[in-house]
Chains A and B, each alone.
Chain A
Amino acid sequence: MKRLTVIVGLVCSGLVVLAALVSLVWTPYNPRRVDPGHKYAPLSWTHLLGTDMQGMDTLSRLLVGAQTTLVVGVLAVAIAAIVGVPLGIFVGMGHRFVGEVVARGMDILFALPALLLAILLAAATGASVGTATIAIGVSTIPIFVRMTRAATLTIMNQDYILAAQVSGTPTPVIAVRHVLPNIAPLLGVQAAASFSMAILAEAGLSYLGLSAPPTTPTWGRMLKDANIFIAPTQAVIPGIAIAVAVLGFNMLGDGLRDYLDPRLKEVR
């Protein structure tokens, strides 16, 4: 079971990465070129996944769309981790008052979910993949802070930390040398889970028109623009792509966690 989770996770997320890589060097058609004569072409050997309302090749757009999916996921998680992890470690190791202030700040941020931030950001600067990514990333910060803080607290009583503190090692050095490596596996699990949530969130924002412009092939946009009555496959295909990506990274995270959680091992 555990192995199966990891395998499914690897296969699904691997497919997404593979699609993105392939699209860098090759797509069957130009994903941005309209073909007026071939509107809503059915699935066939010339167009494996058919075409959309503009006659654009769906497979080509799907492959290129994988790039956006990955970039949004990576950047959103990076924003959350780069801000959240140091803050979490700092609070976990540090002063109670600072901890309280950060915790309340995170409460406020937590109350501003990605959707709300994206609506406000799009209103301020216009909607783009960038604003969507920032909104998702920033709204993920509190999760990283809380998780990092909790993980840091559990290892602060460990002998090696206490020894380092007694020997006068400066706090930042302890954080980088001892704390970070020990919580890194947990961060990896969190990153995978947040990654899949980011992909799902981007699809939602695309649906509301808060992400990519119409010329940029993204999965959420393809799903939004599909005519579900005339060419339902054009909605189902990006829908499946999103589900595969989310499922893949989620299961990857789950599988990793199962390997890392000693308590679960015990019962098996």
Chain B
Amino acid sequence: MRVPHLKGIVAAVAVVALLTGCAAQSPSPASAKTLTVGLTLEPATLDLTTSDAASIPQLLLYNVYETLLKMDSTGAIRPLLATSYDVSSDGLTYTFHLDPRAKFASGAPVDAAAVVSSINRMRDAASATLQSQMSVVQDVQAQSDHTVQVLLSRPSNFWLYSMTSTPGIIVDPAETDMATAPMGSGPYMYDSWVKGDRITLKKNPAYWGTPGRFDQVVFRYIPDPNSMVSAMLSGDLDIMGEMISPDSLPRFADTSKYTVIKGTTNGEVVLGFNHARPVMQNLLVRQAINYAIDRQALLDTVWAGQGQVIGSMVVPTDPYYQDLSGNYPYDPQKAKQLLAEAGVSNLTLSLRVPITPYAPPAATFIASQLADVGITVTVEELDFSSRWLPEVFLGGDYDMTIVDHVEARDIVNFANPDYYWHYDNPQFQALITQADEASAADFITDMEKAAQMLSQDAAADWLFVFPNLVVARAGISGIGANATSLSFDVTTIAARD
């Protein structure tokens, strides 16, 4: 980091005046190669077996913890700790062949015993999401030093996919404190955490594969959009990992200084309906809401036109994607007509949204457009973890809400009637189970049918696909365009200078 003269002078004055004799300057950090990345949400804990927060895999997945298989930026499954895998013809037995070179940062080998203990750790996790993702696993055994066999209770396309994500990470068996000292086999190791400010990773000097390019990687947590942009513009950050005020993108138009990476994520921004509410059980009302909202205008207004309108719970990088965005064109007259047909008048709905960069402005927009068709919307902002989760997600106290569902292939949540939308459609549930157990080709057609069913039933209003927007200073390369996993993957990033 450069220190301009004035800064130095002010600093010197301050120090001399108020801290005489207290000079403990450490060796200049300029000699160490540092990558500074700005992110928005700081995790409360690093233990991903107790917490579902996406901020934990964002930091640790692939960087610190590795998985047997990895999802690359195009959405394809690639080898990582396992060089290959075999599936039995009945789809019940998976055999993973581990890379014999692989070892943890602690020096211990990533052998079959370590993989078995890690998979069991995930099966016994406190997080119900992990438990359910691992529920199809019946048994896991070491066949030899470098071969692991996993036995499933039924065939599952989703399970193999989940092994590229949090459920599939391989934790060092010596790990005792995942909350504050994660131990994995990745090219970077956990170093330190200044709560409320930054988490620092350092290079794993004994990494078994291609080593990381930086001596340390600093993740700074900046929740306020203006502060994030300031930090990038003032040169404090090398990478703005999440562009949370896309309106500000024109400030980074100078290509000699910045690279703007635009791609897609697995996140569907969903205007969710509470199907447990009688009024929301009415298909005409749900369709009316879909017709009443101009999604392209919403995307242009709220997220600077970045992203893409979809029409169902499927993102363009999914293999079974089809464009359903035209199913409910913006038509307020039609919406009014449907509401009249449904015999609903003077409708008042609550729209309780978590405090995120996208949800409150989207809520403001929706409240205005629904007011045009005669629906009164009361918007309420809730802190995500302390209020939205207990009240909306678990308590079901809402009519509508807006959330970016970041998990890959999370269309399956509509098949769970206990999930917070309370969408209970036996036909859809049967279709999803059929798809999960189907052959690769049938899987695609079944999933396409499922997505269409959701759209026709107006099970929700899918507002847009959350874009992956990353700004890097010129000279930084290797950032994946699409965020297909939850990880902010720094393993491929390099700096020219």
State the A residues within 8 Å of B (CB).
Answer: 32-34, 36, 39-40, 53-55, 123, 126-127, 209, 213-215, 225, 227-230
Contacts and interface: CB of A to CB of B under 8 A. Distances in A.
B490 interface: no
A33 B371 contact: yes
Interface in B105-148: none
A209 B382 CA distance: 10
Contact of B381 (A34, A55, A213): A213
26 contacts: A32-B367, A32-B368, A33-B372, A34-B301, A34-B368, A34-B369, A36-B294, A36-B298, A36-B300, A39-B300, A40-B247, A53-B247, A53-B302, A53-B361, A54-B301, A54-B364, A55-B301, A126-B382, A213-B360, A213-B380, A214-B361, A214-B379, A215-B363, A227-B247, A228-B226, A229-B251
Contacts of A230: 247-248, 250-251
Given A126-B387, A213-B380, A214-B379, A34 B250 contact: no
Nearest to A34: B368
Interface string B336-364: 00000000000000000001000011011
Nearest to A32: B368
A172 B8 CA distance: 65
A120 to B, nearest CB: 12
Nearest to A209: B355
Nearest to B391: A126
Q: Indicate the member of B229, B250, B365 with the most A CB atoms within 10 Å.
A: B365
Contacts of A32: 367-368, 371
A47 to B, nearest CB: 16
B379 A213 contact: yes
Given A36-B301, A53-B247, A227-B226, A127 B381 contact: yes
B381 A209 contact: yes
B368 A53 contact: no
B322 interface: no
Interface SS, A side: loop
Contacts of A54: 301-302, 361, 364-365, 368
Nearest to B363: A214
A39 B369 CA distance: 15
Contacts of A126: 380, 382, 387
Nearest to B355: A209
Given A32-B371, A36-B294, A209-B381, A214 B364 contact: yes
Contacts of B250: 230
B386 interface: yes
Interface string B179-215: 0000000000000000000000000000000000000
A230 B252 CA distance: 11
A147 to B, nearest CB: 36
Given A53-B301, A213-B360, 8 more contacts: A33-B368, A36-B297, A54-B364, A54-B368, A55-B301, A126-B387, A209-B355, A215-B364
B245 interface: yes
Contacts of A40: 247
Contacts of A34: 301, 364-365, 368-369
Nearest to B367: A215
A36 B303 CA distance: 12
Nearest to B360: A214
5 shortest interchain CB distances as A-B pairs: A36-B297, A34-B368, A214-B360, A215-B379, A229-B248
B125 to A, nearest CB: 28
Interface in B242-294: 245, 247-248, 250-251, 294
Q: Indicate the member of B251, B298, B355, B380 with the most A CB atoms within 10 Å.
A: B380
Nearest to B359: A214
Contacts of A127: 381
Contacts of A39: 300-301
Kindly state the interface size class of chain B when it binds its partner.
20 to 34
A123 B383 CA distance: 9
A37 B279 CA distance: 32
A39 B233 CA distance: 23
Interface string B400-437: 00000000000000000000000000000000000000
A68 to B, nearest CB: 16
B280 to A, nearest CB: 21
Contacts of B382: 126
Nearest to A122: B383
Contacts of A55: 301
A209 B381 CA distance: 9
A54 to B, nearest CB: 6
A55 B300 CA distance: 11
A32 B379 CA distance: 12
A213 B387 CA distance: 15
B269 to A, nearest CB: 16
Contacts of B364: 34, 54, 214-215
B379 A229 contact: no
Nearest to B372: A33
A259 B259 CA distance: 62
B73 to A, nearest CB: 29
Nearest to A37: B297
Contacts of A33: 368, 371-372
Interface in B294-323: 294, 297-298, 300-302
Interface string B376-393: 000111110011000000
Contacts of A209: 355, 381
Nearest to A214: B360
Contacts of B371: 32-33
A39 B247 CA distance: 10
B420 to A, nearest CB: 18
B386 A123 contact: yes
A213 B294 CA distance: 22
B204 to A, nearest CB: 38
A230 B253 CA distance: 13
A106 B298 CA distance: 50
A36 B296 CA distance: 10
A32 B372 CA distance: 11
Contacts of B301: 34, 36, 39, 53-55
A103 to B, nearest CB: 35
A61 B192 CA distance: 46
Contacts of B379: 213-215
Q: Indicate the member of B367, B368, B383, B387 with the most A CB atoms within 10 Å.
A: B368
Contacts of B387: 126
Contacts of B365: 34, 36, 54
A216 to B, nearest CB: 9
A40 B298 CA distance: 15
A214 B248 CA distance: 20
Contacts of A215: 363-364, 367, 379
B380 to A, nearest CB: 6
